[in-house]
Amino acid sequence: MNLLYIRPVLILLVLVKAAHGQVTEDKFGAIVRGDTSKKELALVFTGDEFADGGKVIRRTLNKNSVRASFFFTGRFYANREFGSLIKGLRKDGHYLGAHSDDHLLYCDWTKRDSLLVTEEQFRADLRRNYQKMAGFGIQKNDAEYFLPPYEWYNLMISKWTGEEDLKLVNFTHGTRSTADYTYPEMGKSYRSSEEIYRSIFEYEAKDKNGLNGFILLIHIGTDPRRTDKLYNRLDAMIRQLKGMGYRFKTIDELLN
């Protein structure tokens, strides 16, 4: 989950050559968008302590013949209540990846170059995440893309990730999809599902590349205090995007 506020982010983006076409990296070394020349995007779901949307999301993806990508913490993989969901997602052919073991905050919110973890802590935590994934038959070679906790990192985290033979990825900025974790008690930070849904298609209309290559992040579960769940609008979102000609890819398909 994200921290309980929404932070403004200004990130420098650069295009880098991929095996097929181009991908976009931010200045901290994470891939944040796929090839903008193709009408393709990836639905990405993260999870740590909540999984209330799991059944709805899985059913909706199957109904629409869409494969998505799921990045879970080690705590999520170790939660026995989530075991059948994880096995079902794997059986359905979705991409399952790592989101750190204990959902650590790697660096300071205001001084991003200030690390809050040591290299040893980072590596040990990440490896524990993959050890728990192995219990579901997910090997490191099957999940080379790593989405950092809180979607917050710096150049050193990117460097260490690469040294673990993994690729750092993050969501594409521009919509409010990641705010689906907010709830009314958070005051001005709260974003309704209608506002979030609308922001996605407003961005699609104004960006010259639409949602081409987009990595759209949603949470698989949220705090019970949020009753207006964005995942309940997933079916309508997928159908609308398909009607606009978009194709859905897993993260490895989108970026490789």
5-49 tens-digit pLDDT = 444 444 455 555 443 458 999 999 999 999 999 999 999 999 999
Residue pointed to by tokens 């997928």: 238
Q: Which residues contact 102 (CB under 8 A, 6 or more apart)?
A: 73, 74, 75, 125, 128
Q: Are strands 95-98 and 13-17 parallel, antiparallel or unpaired?
A: unpaired
Q: Check if the beta carbon of residue 133 is closer than 8 Å to that of residue 143.
A: yes
102-158 tens-digit pLDDT = 999 999 999 999 999 999 999 999 999 999 999 999 999 999 999 999 999 999 999
What is residue 7's predicted lDDT score, i.e. its pLDDT? 46
Instruction: Give mean pLDDT, residues 216-242.
Output: 98
What is residue 21's predicted lDDT score, i.e. its pLDDT? 57
Quick one: pLDDT band at residue 256, thresholds 50, 70, 90? confident
